[in-house]
């Protein structure tokens, strides 16, 4: 009879179980890069690190700040390259960005200029690829190198977004035309269900092709440019609109920066070239705050037509900007009114730029069905 009686657990088994819990807690506090190496230690460690429960624990610890996580800036796909966000604060001159750069491995080759970064959730990046026969979506974790191709979308596509439904632990892509005079149906792809479905039609018209994901919803600027339209990914329907700030400005684009809705505009023929606003408290109109107001006279020679797409704010107060026209990543100091080139993109088309953090989240599921 084992120690502890016939109905109990042996001392050895209890010790192994206890040791396993300790190992799990230690590993859950480590960054992703060493965890990917530690999968080769043994079958049991590989099984533990690959387990969905451990992946969620590691992600939760990262959210809580328990686990050290690395955030990177993905800024080009020709070839895929990223910058260490933490290293940006130490850049002293225009050549230092090279040392913070890393080339990423991606198992799929895309036609040059026909793809864009649709969105990011929990370390998963959604890429939209335009092909002659339709559109293709791909989910990709650049840290683990896992990826999943969706079936081709053969209908007309004007507006789309990618986000996470926490209620069902599901990643979803929403697509609709929004350019027709009549109402147009909405198509939603569920990664968990591995299929597309059609929702009731909508007559909303929006600005900006890609929806901004925040708080379980996708957001677009409504066509009259006085409100923000939100689509709840759990309920799969449009909700009440969020008001824009009281400013005599036509905002061109919306994205999420520092976990806040961020509005920005750019002009060519006016003295005020760019303004950037953050909604500090989600859904509260009074919390809109203008954080950047860049005048034409502030720009150095050579920055005549800047499309200032904000990426992130550094502790120093500098803002990382994706200059789509000049094909540059730039650090702008709003106090000193200075620009510092970080790196130049190789792609002439501009696929966008986004911040992603390294996670173990996998997009791999069963086979998917097309629409």
Torsion of CA 164, 197, 141, 158, to 10 degrees: -90
Pairing mode, strands 80-84 and 217-222 = unpaired
Residue with tokens 């929990």: 122
Provide the CA 131 distance to its chain's centre, in angstroms.
Answer: 23
The enclosing H or E element of 74 equals strand 71-77
User: The whole model's pTM is what?
Assistant: 0.86
Partners of 341 in the beta sheet?
Answer: 330
Length of the chain: 371
The answer to whether the CB of 356 falls within 8 A of the CB of 86 is: no
**Cα 329 to Cα 85: distance, rounded to the nearest angstrom:** 12
**Cα 92 to Cα 103: distance, rounded to the nearest angstrom:** 22
70 Cβ neighbours under 8 A, 6+ residues apart:
31, 32, 33, 84, 85, 86, 357, 358
279 Cβ neighbours under 8 A, 6+ residues apart:
242, 260, 261, 262, 263, 287, 288, 289
> What's residue 15's pLDDT?
43
Helices vs. strands in the chain: H and E counts, helices first: 4, 25
For the chain, domains (ranges, CATH) are 11-64 (no CATH), 71-357 (2.120.10.80)
> What's residue 219's pLDDT?
94
**Cα 58 to Cα 41: distance, rounded to the nearest angstrom:** 19
Report helix, strand or coil for 84: strand
Q: Which two tokens stand for residue 368?
A: 């998917």
**Cα 236 to Cα 294: distance, rounded to the nearest angstrom:** 38
Q: What is the pLDDT along the chain (371 residues), one digit of tens a residue?
A: 444 444 455 555 444 444 678 888 999 999 999 999 999 988 988 989 989 899 999 999 998 888 888 889 988 887 788 888 888 877 766 555 556 778 888 877 666 657 788 999 999 999 988 777 778 888 999 988 888 888 877 677 778 899 999 999 999 999 886 555 566 788 899 998 888 888 887 777 777 788 999 999 999 988 776 789 899 999 999 887 888 888 777 777 899 998 999 998 876 666 767 888 999 999 999 999 998 888 777 776 655 555 778 899 988 888 998 877 767 888 888 888 888 888 877 665 566 789 999 999 987 654 334 44
> What's residue 16's pLDDT?
47
> What's residue 111's pLDDT?
61
């Amino acid at each position: 009879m084992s120690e502890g009686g016939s109905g109990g657990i042996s001392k050895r088994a209890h010790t192994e179980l206890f040791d396993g819990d300790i190992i799990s807690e230690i590993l859950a506090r480590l960054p992703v890069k060493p965890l990917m190496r530690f999968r080769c230690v043994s079958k049991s460690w590989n099984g533990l690190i690959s387990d969905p429960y451990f992946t969620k624990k590691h992600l939760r610890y990262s959210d809580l700040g328990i686990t050290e996580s690395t955030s990177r800036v993905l800024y080009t796909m020709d070839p895929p390259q990223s910058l260490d966000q933490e290293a940006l604060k130490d850049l002293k001159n225009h050549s230092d960005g090279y040392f913070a750069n890393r080339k990423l491995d991606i198992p799929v080759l895309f036609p040059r200029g026909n793809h864009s970064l649709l969105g990011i959730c929990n370390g998963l990046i959604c890429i939209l690829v335009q092909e002659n026969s339709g559109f293709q979506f791909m989910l990709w974790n650049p840290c683990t190198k896992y990826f999943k191709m969706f079936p081709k979308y053969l209908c007309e596509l004007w507006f789309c977004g990618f986000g996470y439904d926490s209620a069902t632990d599901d990643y979803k892509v929403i697509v609709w035309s929004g350019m027709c005079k009549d109402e147009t149906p909405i198509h939603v792809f569920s990664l968990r269900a591995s299929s597309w479905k059609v929702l009731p039609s909508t007559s909303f018209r929006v600005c900006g092709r890609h929806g901004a994901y925040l708080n379980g919803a996708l957001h677009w600027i409504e066509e009259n440019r006085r409100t923000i339209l939100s689509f709840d990914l759990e309920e799969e329907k449009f909700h009440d609109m969020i008001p824009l700030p009281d400013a005599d400005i036509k905002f061109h684009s919306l994205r999420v920066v520092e976990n806040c809705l961020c509005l920005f505009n750019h002009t060519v023929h006016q003295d005020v070239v760019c303004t950037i606003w953050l909604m500090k408290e989600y859904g509260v109109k009074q919390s809109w705050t203008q954080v950047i107001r860049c005048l034409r006279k502030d720009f150095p020679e050579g920055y005549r037509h800047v499309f200032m797409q904000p990426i992130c704010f550094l502790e120093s107060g500098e803002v990382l900007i994706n200059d789509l026209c000049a094909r540059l990543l730039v650090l702008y100091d709003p106090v000193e009114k200075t620009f510092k080139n970080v790196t130049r993109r190789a792609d002439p088309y501009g696929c966008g730029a986004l911040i992603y953090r390294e996670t173990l989240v996998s997009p791999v599921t069963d086979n998917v069905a097309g629409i």
